[in-house]
Amino acid sequence: MLPLTGITVVALEHAVAAPFATRQLADLGARVIKIERPGSGDFARRYDESINGQSSYFVWLNRSKESVTLDVKSPRGREILHELVGRSDVLVQNLGPGAADRLGLSAAAVRARDPRKIVLGITGWGSDGPWAGRKAYDLLAQCEAGLVSLTGSADEPARVGISVADIAAGMYGFSAVLAALYQRRLTGEGATLEVSLFEALAEWMGQPAYYTAGSGRQQPRAGARHATIAPYGPFTAGDGRTVLISIQNETEWVRFCAEFLGAPELATDPRFATNTLRVANRDTLEAIVDARFAAFGAAEASALLDRAGIANAGVNTVGDFLDHPVLRERKRWRDVDTPGGAIRALLPPISLGDEEPRMDPVPAVGEHTAAVLAELGRSPGEIAGLADEKII
């Protein structure tokens, strides 16, 4: 039995942050009932058509869920929604500011009816404070948290290549629900939970925040190099391929000089004797490392680095990643059904010992509406009438 078997989650969700939290709950066995707009569904379904005509975002975030379409603005749709929430353990929502309150589903209202309920709201900037009413999307949070100012080349800032603020918020939402379920088992009480995109990413900005506060200056943008550690970055081998190396401590630095650079005296060179000095003299140091890499092919350089105990990696494309030997040899891929046909999907990173995580299909819009309404006691005729009135 999976850890969350028997837990029911109702999700008023769209886009990335809340769907990422609830998909992970589904991975662990929770029943996740996803409420979608009749006809169109979650707008993330239409972000792209790259995977069998479906959105890459949607198939990533919504396997193992049940899709129920409801016009929650209509009285009958709202009545059904409240019934579903009443039967659930957890309510998750990342609706726009004030929308949950207007539906009668604020955390206070839900928990007044049933104190055992766990209610998670994912917001952009927090449910109170000066920006409570502002819209928030991933890149806006990246910008406001200062992350974009750290990312990119010296000449130009850049967005992080994935939806990192949404993912951060989804991860904290997932872990908060797990903690609340444990607390409820001990005390019988539910919980009111909130995570904002901005504050989730603010936590991830801890190191550069402390660096700036303590030093009085912001660490520079350094492309694929580490801004405050050297040598730590990509180098081009003689065959034109790129290898990234990482020197994390003085013991590694001494070994790197002796066994890879073939110049043990560099370890105590006054220009490079500490990491701070190596960063200050980065250009001179990297010219020496570049010259050494040029003498080897990438595979030969990587083998020599491995023998010296120096961490290194290829700078892969996404295509390279899809065929990565670690994923292949560890059997991390599974087939998952979708409305557009079966796709390959990665197992979630949490290992459950011998227990396989849940990898059920990605639902079509409203695929489970009739079955769920039947559970609520609606007759086939009533369900047909709701469909005719476009309530489902």
Among 357, 342, 320, 271, smallest CA distance to 24 is for: 357
Element (H, E) at 66: strand 65-69
Residues with Cβ within 8 Å of residue 86, at least 6 apart in sequence: 113, 114
Q: Tell whether the torsion through CA atoms of 169, 172, 175 and 176 is positive or negative.
A: negative
Tell me how far apart the alpha carbons of residues 392 and 373 are, in angstroms, rounded to a whole number. 10
DSSP at 342: -
Are the CB atoms for 386 and 376 separated by under 8 Å? no
Q: Under a CB-based contact definition with an 8 Å cutoff, are residues 52 and 81 in contact?
A: no
206-215 helix and 197-204 helix, angle to the nearest 10 degrees: 60
Residue 226 annotated to the active site:
yes
**Quick one: which of 45, 104, 40 has its CA closest to 71?**
40
- Distance of alpha carbon 296 from the chain centroid: 37
Tokens of 338: 């979708």
Distance CA 373, CA 165 (A): 35
Q: Is-cis flag, bond preceding 231, omega within 30?
A: yes
Four-point Cα dihedral 34, 36, 41, 44, nearest 10: -50
Decide: 136 and 198 in contact? Cβ < 8 Å. Answer: yes
How many CB atoms neighbour CB 194 within 10 A? 17
Q: What is the DSSP letter of 362?
A: P
- The DSSP element (H or E) to which 331 belongs, if any, is none
- In DSSP terms, 192 is beta-bridged to 119
The catalytically annotated residue of 14, 82, 226, 368 is 226
- Rounded Cα distance, 146 and 234, in Å: 24
CA-closest candidate to residue 40, choices 384, 388, 366, 367:
366
**Helix 17-27 crosses helix 164-187 at what angle (to 10 degrees)?**
50
Active site residues: 226
